[in-house]
Structures are given as structure tokens and as C-alpha cells.
Amino acid sequence: MKKHDLVKSIKAKESMLCIGLDTDIKRVPAFIKNNYDNPILEFNKRIIESTKNHCVAYKFNIAFYESMGSSGWQALDESLNLIPQEIFTIADAKRGDIGNTSMLYARTFFETFDFDSITVSPYMGSDSLEPFYGYEDKWVIILGLTSNKGSFDFQMQELSDGRKVYQKVIERCLDFGTSNNTMFVVGATKPEYIQSIREIASDHFFLMPGIGKQGGSLELSLQYGAIDDYGLLINSSRGIIYASEGEDFNEIAHSEAMKLNRSIAEHITY
């Protein structure tokens, strides 16, 4: 997907919402687990049908699928095929290895599964990321400053020149791609740092987890992160797909997606 198509979709739907399909078999309602051969697929199908008009992206956390073996990979493939072509798809795989291995990771998620994007770890440097840039209209989403507590262990460490490690990483990664094929993961749980990251990556999209269950501030994330062409994908996973564990879970997911969109619209002009 090209950047202008993503921006067009955001404007048309008046939504920057990315819904995380982090589908855990332990949290799938019992009536689905007891009545369907592939309950993960059925759960995703109902979520997608209920929310597809209110989001511009879906993010699949790959760990939830690969942990189930062949049935999980099948559910991933079939769920991906349910998503309308105009909706941006993210393989949240956090891959990154030596070049030959990254080439196969890229082939897996850009050819075998045909995702629009993949999250990657930049820790091993440029040669681990280059293979992901070999695909036209595909996006590389680089871990910048993540939303978890452990980000303070390494990402927040100060370098000799006064910069933080995450700042150095993002600055260096700007050389690998462009704002037309590179995004950064920027956690909403650290709003005080979003402005400094936006100063470094002034026209790149940010994939922003941490709103909702993790306690990130939507208002501050939008204040510091949004730009003229929006520049944000606000991710919500558990807060939407697990808002209810009853038979109405898809209806409640629809309501929660609309509610989050209304909250975003209070701070953004489309």
C-alpha cells in the first residue's frame, strides 16, 4: 500500500485506528471454542466483520498464531484473506537477523502471507533490515521506543553525546528507507518523549501501541505525534477485541472501536 492510499483511507473513514488481532485461544468465548473447528478464525472473522468500517489497519501479533502450530498458521492465512484490500495489514513479528535469514522472513510475510508491513528489530543493524526493503509498496515498521517497562533497560540509556539509544537508533534508521516505506513503533505510554521523536522523524508514520489497557494518554499522543497527513496509527488490541467475553463480543468490539474513534476525533480534524 502506498502512503497516499493510507492517508486517503484515514481521511475517508475519519479514523486512525489500528486493531490488534492478538487472538488468544484462552480468551476466545466458550461458545465459539465448542462449536467451531478453528475457533481463532471464527473469532477473528466476527471481529473483522464488526469493526472493518471503523479502522484503517489490523495488526496480527504473530506469536499468538505460531504458538498453535499448523492450525495457527492456517488461521492467520485465512484471517488475513478476510480483510478488505483497502485496509492496511501489519505482521507484528518483530523479526531481524542476518541478511539471509531476514530475506526469508521478508519472503514469509510479504509473499507467502502478503502483509502490507512487518515490525522489525533494528538491533543487528542495516544488513538485517535491507531484505525487507526489497519489496515495492511494502512497509518496514522499526521498533523505536516501545511501550513496555523493559524499554528503560536499553532504549533509554544515555550515550556519550547526550542522546538516548532510541534517538540514535531512529536517526540511523532514517537512512534505510523513506517516509513512504518506513514507520516507527512509538509507545503511547511515554508521551513525554513523543515530541522529541517527532522532531527526528518529522514526516514518518508512527505505529502507536499502549493506548487503553496499558494506560497510554491518547490526548498527549495525538498532541505530540500527529502531523498534517495524520502520521499515526493508534493501536488498540485487548481494549477492543476482549471488551466482552460473552456472545456479544463482536458487537461490543464494534462499540469500543467507535468510541475510540470519537475520542480521537475530539483532538484531530480530518
Report the distance separating Cα 131 and Cα 118, nearest Å.
12
Record the cell numbers describing residue 38, joined without a space.
Answer: 478453528
Q: What pLDDT does 216 receive?
A: 74
What pTM was estimated for this model as a whole? 0.95
- Just give the CATH number of 3-265: 3.20.20.70
List active site positions: 94
Report the distance separating Cα 172 and Cα 135, nearest Å.
21
Q: What pLDDT does 56 receive?
A: 98
Q: How confident is the model at residue 265 (pLDDT cuts 50, 70, 90)?
A: very high
Q: What pLDDT does 193 receive?
A: 86
pLDDT at 151 over 80: no
Whether residue 58 contacts residue 233, with contact meaning beta carbons closer than 8 Å, is answered with: no
Kindly list the domain boundaries of the chain, sorted by start residue. Answer: 3-265
- Mean pLDDT, rounded, for 113-121: 97
Rounded to the nearest 5°, which phi and psi values hold at 231? 70, 10
Q: What pLDDT does 163 receive?
A: 84
Residue 228 C-beta-side C-alpha neighbours within 13 Å = 3
Q: How confident is the model at residue 103 (pLDDT cuts 50, 70, 90)?
A: very high
